[in-house]
Structure 1
Amino acid sequence: MSELITARIQAHATRLGLPHLAEHLDLLVERAETDSMGYREFIDTILGEELGLREGRRFRTALKLSGLPHHKTLEEFDFAFQPDLDVRKIRDLAALAFVTGHRNVALLGPPGTGKTHIATALAVAACQAGHSIYFTSLDDCVRQLRAAEAAGRFAKKLQTYLRPSVLVLDEVGYLPCDRAAANMVFQLISRRYERGSIILTSNKTFSEWGQVFTDDVIATAILDRLLHHCDVIAINGPSYRLKDRALSAVPAAVS
């Protein structure tokens, strides 16, 4: 009888999409008996483990589709190398209230100061919490939108950048935009306004964005929507990329 019940449970679990239960039923029952679990506790354990496995798969799949250049976390960020950076502010952002509040985050500073690392780490945290994310450089975003417009698919392609809860726009200002590109960026920013969060990195101050978008009026319109609900983080420390080079340049101590 017990073998028939076991087979029936495994079949039901498989049809319900509960592979962990189907594969490890005997081990789960043995653990329940060893720990003297009650019925509710046993069911809670089964569902909790299935949910954990499912969320793990969702998280890994979402990261693969996110376009992130790497999956670095805040724990890997060397805050000691950027002593002027407000660590508590970054930790507060990692709590993701900015995502649920549809706020933006702007990380400004010279190249190599860790802006993209922090932006990526916040996106990874958001993904882990169940939010949809997407990463792109501004240059690649504009290039994709231009190609879509030429093919008559602009509105559909724009949805790629409107759909996720968190959009990471990297390297804003590294390459200038002409007026047509600036208009595309304006459409993107205005359509996401108060509907989804943007995390952007830029090596330019906001006062220089008129040069970035080759039009002060468009730049002002973009900033008006972007900064209305925005946490601005300035990182003005040394470059991580030059860190090892600087250390290698120090003469070795004479023994």
Structure 2
Amino acid sequence: MVLDPHRWLELRRFRGLYESGAMSQRQVAKETGLNRRTVAKYLSGQVPAAPPQREPNGRPRRRAVDEVAPLIDAMLRSEILLKGAVIHERLVQEYGITINYQRIKLYLQEARPRIAEELGISPGELAGLHRRFEVVPGAQAQVDWGDEGKILAHVGIPKVYSFHMTLSYSRDPFCCFTTSQDLATFFDCHRQAFAHFGGVPMSIVYDRTKTVVRRHVAPGEAVPLHPEAVAFAGHYDFDIDVLAAYRPQGKGRVERQVGIVRDHVLAGRAFSSIEEMNAAFAAWVPVRRSKVHATHGEVIGHRAERDHMAFRPLPKTPYVVAQRHLRHVGKDCMVAFDANLYSVPARKVRPRQLVEIRATKSQVILHSTISDASGQTLLAVHPRAVGRGARIVDESHWDGLPTGAGRRTTTGDGPPPPRRDQPLGPEAGSLQALLNRAAVAHVEVGRRPLSVYDELTGTRPFTSNITKKEAR
């Protein structure tokens, strides 16, 4: 029996599931609508790797991909793991060849093992498989960010992020929600996670985020770490483990946790604040810990207890990470930082003076770059603004600056009007103030003919006394 090509392509979709044990032959037969014996024959490899295709005259049918096969083989020889989407894109853009992407995918399934054998590449390298690792209790945690989008846009918060830390041994989760991914927020989330777990793991796995890695380097080179990340890890006594480039499988446990939290905590719910979102996660944690994990087959909470007992203790004093920036003081005694304005004392600064900003997750601390007579540099401490466009002002910082309270006006005739800061009396109200304004508006103005001004300036008037008759 020869299968129709369309049926053959449909059957190929289930070969991987069958070989991995995810589906049985009976299930594949039910999904494809084929006889179970036919499915067994094709899945067991008793037939050729592809359905025979022949022209009406009996000759093998030529495929469209055969014309570009030499080009594809050349690309695979230069990079054996080159993706099919990239190959299709280059064929279209560089060679002007229009071919269906699915045909290239099917050809790569046959061509990639053949080219790999020519190059002497082992099947393990070709498949892109990775080694599964297991750790002892307390040995490792994994960290990742999640982008939750505009979940709080209705209350004026444009974007929300989720910070996740998952213990590799037990899969015990931690999550908190923030409005920023900056350095201070990143490590403040670490402190919250350590308090949640009651200790510090021996190592933490990161991808190459800019809050951990100072700059990106080529694969195989040593990764330079951010100085604040090194100081933070030294204070809490854990090792920083940065993944190799293009190897996201190294922190798959925390990446899986990002999706689980979205499904079980956020999906189908409305929130009005970050605090409500954090409370929702805290309420879900006991439910998660009561589940049996599909991989290690134990209750997550029971395994988490062994994880927590192996942790290193928290230090007595927390390490506060601060961003440091230099900014100029404006003429209004305000300093701009992160799209917000913060006041500084007028008596201690001058316009365009450079000040240092030390920003934590909750505070903005302003220091002078030059110490005063007592050796102090601190200028002001403000709570950190949420969002953008805020003005955080301490009114005492403006002491000594003009207020404009002494400004007055007069018409020059008669007694001066009452000062604005002078009370009109208990019997006078808003009506009396309006009457005073009306009286000022009715002051008489002197009227003089224009000839008076001509005589004063010595100029001749524009009119003449000559009659029309004399002019003739």
Q: TM-score, normalised by structure 2?
A: 0.17
Between structure 1 and structure 2, the one with the greater Rg is 2
- Higher relative contact order at CA 8 Å, sep ≥6: structure 1 or structure 2? 1
More helix by share: 1
